[in-house]
Structure 1
Amino acid sequence: MHRRTFLRHTTLALATLSVVPLVRVQAANRGRTWYVDANGGDDAHDGTSEARAFRSLDRLNKETFGPGDHILFKRGGDYPGAFLPKGSGSAGAPIVADAYGQGAPPHLHADGKAPSTVRLQNVEYWTLQNLDISNQGPQPAPRRTGVHLFHQDYGVAHGITLKNLHVHDVNGVPVKKDGGGSGILVEAKGKDKPTRYESLAIIDNRLDNTQRDGILFLGAGNRQGGLAKGVVVRGNQLSGVPGDCILVKGCDGALVEHNTVSHCGPLPRGEAAAGIWPFDCDNTTVQYNEVSDHKAFADGQAYDSDFRCRNTVIQYNYSHDNVGGMALVCNDGRSGGDIGNTGTIVRFNVSINDALRKTDSASLRISGPVDGSQIYNNIIIIPEKPIAGAEVTVFKATSWKGVPSSTNIHDNIVVSPQEPGIDMQVAQATKLNENRMVATTASNQKGLAGSQAASTEHAMLERFRSHRPTLAQVNTLVKACFANGKPVANAVDLIGQLTAG
């Protein structure tokens, strides 16, 4: 054969060999599509088309899914029972459970007959989206949840996304030690094999009336087997969650941002909870969130950096009308171990009308052997307290089997009808520098800017009771007040603009 002809045929043959496997891989990544139709489906069908849709979750649970598969629930349908899928996707080809058709999102509900309505157990590369999920039993029950991510002795569970779900009406029990309950529960356990999550995203979901908690991590990893990586909790809206609304645990570098939490509580006597907080985590960033109306019997802060947390950053958040204050930084001296709570930063946040208890209340509390916290460039607005004679304390340190040390509190702006108290006596090596305290009573005009009368400023504070600015407005305010890292002279005027008109 002529050399040129031989080369041409060889090239074509090699090209054919290289193309065929690629086409097969692409086809495999597309996976199969399964249809479920609560009204028009039939469990005798094979589920491979709209005309051949399954009818029930029980039938769907008999299948094992693979990379690139799509499970589509018809909108407007009612799907009783529990969805307990088997099989994993792969990188670039997750399994996706979604909705199709027109109308309301498909409603999956266990009605208390199963601990969870959706349970992803020892599987990875899954996306759940556009589903309506509830688990309302005849009576409250412990550990009841809507969506449960449960991985035990699995290793690293990759690529799980919960997106645009409506999780609601989950009646767990209100007491944590009795088992609680949650809307979304994240749990990694490894007795024989270290287990953790990687690239876990909980984004743009809505949670309503989930008891006790909202998005609850019992542990996405641990320090012995490895902390979870790539955890994002973003854009979720939670309402009617009485306990811990967003709690991340066992993570390194978790990002909790752009979430809105409201109408939290009440809880039974003795129960402690907060809005958004990490526990046993490193390098958590909590930013651009709004938390309001937390009414827990104990704690009740909007934000918290808790036990065994290192280098938590709480910034650009908004809190208002929370009984326990804007933020808590704490550590139990017996439980902190060698990690403790170190390096927490609370900065560039706005608090309005927080710390509503009559006594033992503060806008920001630091409790226990907490080391190296930095509290700076926050704006704290305290209107007249709703309870006559209530304390007006802005920064407070308390002992909890140890005391805070090396706390630096500087360049904060506090506006209150009366001179706010600072109670850091029990703490060690505290630095208080250049905080601007503005008392608006006519008898004490210390720190007032410009020519406005104290009575006018006092009226401005009271307007915050009926008018709440948006998160975008308060972030604009923060950036204006702390230009070049220092409070500007007209801080009170800028604060007043939030209620103008």
Structure 2
Amino acid sequence: MIRFRSPASLALAAACLAVVVPVPASAAGPGTIHVDCAATAPGDGSAARPVTSLDAVNATRLRPGQLVLFRRGSRCTGTLAPTGEGRPGAPIQIGAYGPGARPVIDAAGRPDAVLLRNTQWIELRDLEITNAAAPGSNRRGVHVQLENYGQGHHYVLQNLNVHDIWGDDTKSTSGSDGILFSVVGDERASSFDDVRVVGNRVAGVNRGGIRLVVSQWEQRAQVGSTAPYTKPWTPNTHIVVSDIGGDGIVILTARDAVVEGNHIAGFQRRSAGYNAGLWPWNSDGTAFRHNEVSGGTTTRDGMAFDVDQGTDGTTFEYNYSHDNAGGFLLLCNAAGRVANAVIRYNISQNDSYRGVEMCSGGLESAHVYNNTIYVGDRRSMTVINENTTAPHNVRFDNNIVVKAGAGTAAMRLQPGTAVRPTHNILYGVTGAGDNPGGSTADPLLDTPGSATGISDLDGYHVRTGSPALDAGTIIPGNGGRDIFGQPVPANRPPTIGAAERPAAD
């Protein structure tokens, strides 16, 4: 299972995952390599006589349990590309020692600042990583790669500041990303197991923030591949990513991911391609929960969330999106499969352009229910943009949509629409068509438009007397709670929208 967790929920995972802790300077012992690229004379790697270059580290084959510690306040130029492997209970650990700011690894325009290739049981912490020289060339901040390796185990990236990775506009196994996990090779299927990307900051990146796992071993019918499959789908497992502030997270070639507690602030700012804030591709069972996504800046996608091609069982729940130029949600298939998608109990504030949009291909099944969408003054949105005639089974139930102030909110539905809206409150929305069990009355949201973050959504409770109260249609398997953690009934009509009860309750 792949998990993206917030710091608050790490304690809940302690029963099944080892606790990830920083490496203290006092842990240094025999065999520890100290590195100070500002020192004047190369030494033997002891604290008194540190080595002075990345080349010295790269030339040493590291042993299980060995530490490589960079002096805080120092700066090394080039690529850190260690060799060697750890083992269970004795990982290789790369970190920092001494007082001051994080040590800096500056790739100075090289393809990678840190390259962890064909290794396992390795942990990287407490570094600042940058790669700003020669902007526009292909590069990464941290690149973890397996080639004809088989399954690699235990990778920790923690407390890294990855910034100014000014690469090109490519996304691939060698694309430009702040953090990239990739699998290549023609001879042996490879995959990652037990990856933890925890407490990092990723900012100022062309093209992607965090992309994992881009794999050449991805072929299956669900993503549009044609048999015979020469590199069959080999999913990556047991990945934890939490507390990320940056440009966007993409999950690829994975099974049963949980993406939780991340803050994406500003994406799709410079790319000429199509990018969304959070999305899976060629992955099954991915759940995105308790994330905040904002600042998508174009309508080339540019929406917060995307259920993309080759996916089955994707869930977006309890998330907050706001101020995205491309909108709230994309359901996107071309020649593969999108099935059993669920989008529920999310809040959208002042997203523009589209609420729910579909790509050209068919959609086997998607259910959008109990979301609250607020389109404020001088914002416009096509709430449902049904821009495909391919067969698609999309339900739209129990949602609140409110348009306030200048601008418009409208539906763009195909004749004989495949989208079946029921029990929605569509206040200020035009072109809604049939909406059995629904209403166009004011839902009496408490203070819509007032949210300042995912922990400040109380304005989206409905007030006592709201027409939304207990007026929805019963939906089996509704998740059992709303965005505020309040219980949602299973055997009687729920309240319409993302909040089950008024704030006073």
Deviation at 1:428, TM superposition (A): 6.0
Per-residue CA distance 1:433-455 (angstroms, 9 max, x = gap): 211223399xxx941256x9xxx
User: Could you tell me how far 1:350 is from its partner in structure 2?
Assistant: 0.8
8 Å CA contact 2:371, 2:498 repeated in 1: no
Aligned counterpart in structure 2 of residue 73 of structure 1, from 66, 70, 74: 70
SS across alignment from 1:472: coil
Matches within 5 A, 1:94-113: 94-112=91-109
Q: Which residue of 2 aligns with 1:292?
A: 294
Q: Which residue of 1 aligns with 2:234?
A: 226
How far apart are the structure 2 equivalents of 1:36 and 1:354? 48
How many Å separate the matches in 2 of 1:179 and 1:222? Answer: 16
Corresponding position of 1:253: 256
**Alpha-carbon offset, residue 166 of structure 1:** 0.4
TM-score, with length taken from structure 1: 0.78
* Residue aligning to 1:350: 347
Give percent identity, aligned residues only.
Answer: 29
Q: What SS is found at the alignment partner of 2:455?
A: helix
Q: Aligned equivalents of 1:57 and 1:427: distance in 2?
A: 64
Partner of 1:23: none
Structure 2: segments with no counterpart, 5+ residues = 1-28, 220-231, 431-438, 462-482
Q: Deviations over 1:295-340 (max 9, x none)?
A: 135110111111101111111111101011111111013xx1xxx1
1:111-142 deviations in Å (ceiling 9; x for gaps): 10x20010000001111111000011133202
Is contact 1:397–1:427 with CA below 8 Å preserved after alignment?
Answer: no
- Provide the C-alpha distance between the structure 2 equivalents of 1:427 and 1:314, rounded to a whole number of angstroms: 28
Letter in 2 for 1:166: N
TM-align CA RMSD: 3.0
SS at structure 1 position matched to 2:55: helix
Cα distance in 2 for partners of 1:264, 1:160 equals: 26
Q: Identify which range, 297-306 or 225-234, moves more after superposition.
A: 225-234
Closer, same or farther in 2 for the Cα pair 1:432/1:192, shift >3 Å?
same
Report the counterpart of residue 136 of structure 1 in structure 2: 132
CA drift at 1:225:
4.8
The C-alpha deviation readout for 1:339-360, integer Å capped at 9, x for no partner, is x1111111111100112xxxxx
Measured in 1, the distance between the counterparts of 2:497 and 2:175 equals 47
For 2:498 and 2:257, the matched residues in 1 are separated by 33
What pairs with 1:305-454 in structure 2 (closer than 5 Å)? Answer: 305-333=307-335, 336=336, 340-355=337-352, 361-367=353-359, 368-386=361-379, 390=380, 392-399=381-388, 403-417=390-404, 420-425=409-414, 429-439=418-428, 446-449=440-443
Task: Report whether the alignment pairs 1:147 with 2:142.
Answer: yes
Query: Is the 1:316–1:348 Cα contact (8 Å) retained in structure 2?
Result: yes
Q: Is the 8 A contact 1:277 1:306 kept in 2?
A: yes
Compared CA separation, residues 168 and 92, structure 1 to 2 (3 A): same
Greater shift in the superposed pair: 179-188 or 316-325:
179-188
Map of 1:472 onto structure 2: 455
Gaps of 5+ in 1: 1-29, 356-360
- Residue-by-residue CA offset, 1:180-222 (whole Å, 9 max, x unaligned): 5211111112310001111112121101111111112352553
Q: Is the counterpart of residue 36 in structure 1 residue 25 in structure 2?
A: no
> Where in structure 2 are the equivalents of 1:167-178 lying within 5 Å?
167-174=162-169
Give the letter for the 1:395 counterpart: I
Aligned to 2:81: 84
TM-score, length of structure 2 as denominator length: 0.78
Name the stretch that deviates more: 414-423 or 167-176: 414-423
- Write out per-residue CA displacement over residues 44-70 of structure 1, whole angstroms, 9 at most, x where no aligned residue: x221x3113211111111111121111
Structure 2 CA distance, aligned partners of 1:474 and 1:107?
A: 38
Counterpart AA for 2:96: A
Q: Secondary structure at the match of 2:267?
A: coil
Which entry has the higher C-alpha Rg, 1 or 2? Answer: 1
CA distance in structure 1 between the aligned counterparts of 2:86 and 2:499, rounded to whole angstroms: 55
Do 2:173 and 2:182's aligned partners in 1 also have CA atoms closer than 8 Å?
Answer: no
Whole-angstrom CA distance in 1 between matches of 2:311 and 2:487 = 27
Which amino acid is 2:356 matched to?
Answer: L
Higher helix fraction (1 or 2) = 1
Q: C-alpha distance in 2, partners of 1:267/1:218? A: 23
Deviation at 1:147, TM superposition (A): 0.5
CA distance 1:393–1:428, shift in 2 (3 Å): closer
8 A Cα contact 2:400 2:443, kept in partner: no
Distance 1:141 1:42 in 2: 33
My pick for the range that moved more, 201-210 or 114-123, is 201-210
